[in-house]
A and B are shown apart, each in its own frame.
Chain A
Amino acid sequence: MKVLVPVKRVIDYNVKPRVKMDGTGVDLTNVKMSMNPFDEIAVEEAIRLKEKGAASEIVVVSVGPQKAQDTLRTALAMGADRAILIQTDQEVEPLAVAKLLKAVTDEEQPGLVLLGKQAIDDDSNQTGQMLAALTGRPQGTFASKVEIKGDIVEVTREVDGGLETVSLKLPAIVTTDLRLNEPRYASLPNIMKAKTKPMANKTPADYGVDIGPRLTTLKVEEPAKRQAGVKLGSVDELVVKLKDLGVVA
């Protein structure tokens, strides 16, 4: 079974995002960029499926600027087999990404598409579900456990009330949550080896997909700032304050 893993190049999760002075967006100049953490988990899961013999080939795909090559190389260094870069400098919304991924899915026919549940830049949490709709495949979102059982995949999902398990007919779409696995670091020999793994360069036009935006961002602002409060000297002071707030029964 082939596994397709879409990955996104985003601001590194350790960097504090700063809103541009002109209110047009978040300043990404000279900011460290990395693979979206949830996508890293998806790549890791695909590799583990391959190590267990459940997956035969891992194809990684990214929609983004030329620099997204670095993100794809990281995935190849972790253990993916080949990569596809769909290059564009435009900002691509989840619906358009899902349409591009549908075209790749039609071409590659993966048994499983593993994606991060959300990207930590736009926090949309849509692409996997949209891809599932467009391909007519079942979806196992927010996965904390993925088990291939013949022609089905059993997915344990992190939901508001706890955990929920669903059984999906393959081919299927699965989006990863934090507790699915801990991604490995690429070793130096594997980083070197990744440089020679195949990477196809495509454009949205190659897939005949219109990536024109549906949303216009009118402005981007910083949220209202909280002011730091007071440091108290003792538990007794805190008890008084909590009683003043009326939250003590």
Chain B
Amino acid sequence: MTVLVLVEHEAGVPKDASLATITAAQKLGQIHALVAGEGAEAKQAAEATAKIAGVAKVLLADHAAYANMLAENVAPLVAGLMSNYDALLCNATSNGKNIAPRVAAMLDVMQISDVLSIEGTDTFTRPIYAGNAIATVKSSDAKKVLTVRATAFTKAAASGGSASVETISGPTDAGLSSFVGAETSKSERPELTSAKVVVSGGRALGSSEEFHRLIDPLADKLGAAVGASRAAVDAGYAPNDYQVGQTGKIVAPEVYVAIGISGAIQHLAGMKDSGTIVAINKDEDAPIFQVADLGLVGDLFQIVPELTQKL
């Protein structure tokens, strides 16, 4: 079978999540990758995608209407291509989650969200109930639409492939929506979802000032990305894109350091597949210690600065 992967890219580079999705797609069949975007950056991303190991062909759709991945414009483009493919794979990222269901409904297909493993051409596993259960589901739809959880698959090699790039066109501006602007958190740190080490802070930090005063230097020492619990984000200590959990980001770094996080099931859903979990909390009965490999019970306001200094 031949499958289509919707590639996400930024500044001309395919995102890590797309590399994981390409690995998942390899289990289903031959891969064609769609790069939608505008201008030189899209072209550059298409050329980079052509080099990814396992990609047989790249489709480049270059138009201003695709520049900001508006679902109203991108979904009809993807749906129009699907007559040639047996499956569509998108990342389980905010873009993938936004676009894939719109395509699925246009194709009258029941999407399978957050795929963890591919057991066969029609059988997949996925987490339900905040990852407290894993369901194995079999689809009876003729075509499959999947979103893929990046942490469940290794990244495909960014080099080694030599696919051709074909420029295509499709429906452009649906006239339903427009992009107004974005406020993106600029950071020198690694991206949260693909970092090797993540340091996350919880509500126990008490304020935005303390969050940054304690968490940021430790993250710098460890070359880590910074995350947060929902409680810390709701309280305004950290921006929304820091949130790790059932409805936030899913991370699985080599080392996850949870500071002042009690460990609600919704938070554990986002980080329990991490390699080593380190927890620092003053409450020795906090649920986070049930999943932590290394625990330290005590006052984080003393422990964290001492740890940062000693590393």
Contact = CB atoms under 8 A, between A and B. Distances in A.
Q: Is B a genuine binding partner of A? A: yes
Interface of A: 11, 13, 16-19, 25-26, 38, 93-95, 98, 117-118, 120-134, 136-139, 141-142, 144, 154, 157-169, 177-179, 213-223, 226, 228-232, 234-236, 238-239, 241-242, 245, 247-249
B242 to A, nearest CB: 10
B149 to A, nearest CB: 11
Contact of A218 (B136, B221, B246, B249): B136
Contact of A241 (B68, B110, B289, B294): B294
Given A123-B246, A219-B136, A230 B295 contact: yes
Interface of B: 68, 70-72, 75, 93-95, 97-106, 108-114, 123, 127-141, 174-185, 193, 196-197, 221-224, 230, 233-234, 239-241, 246-247, 249, 254-255, 265-266, 272, 276-278, 284, 289-297, 303, 306-307, 310-311
A130 B97 CA distance: 11
Contact of A242 (B98, B233, B311): B311
B179 A166 contact: yes
Given A125-B101, A159-B94, A249-B223, 20 more contacts: A13-B266, A16-B132, A17-B132, A26-B133, A98-B105, A123-B129, A130-B105, A134-B105, A137-B176, A141-B97, A158-B241, A167-B177, A178-B247, A214-B109, A214-B110, A215-B137, A222-B133, A230-B294, A231-B296, A247-B196
A217 B137 CA distance: 4
Contacts of B295: 229-232
B311 A129 contact: no
Contacts of B134: 220-223
A136 B174 CA distance: 10
B106 A133 contact: yes
Contacts of B185: 161-162
Nearest to B183: A163
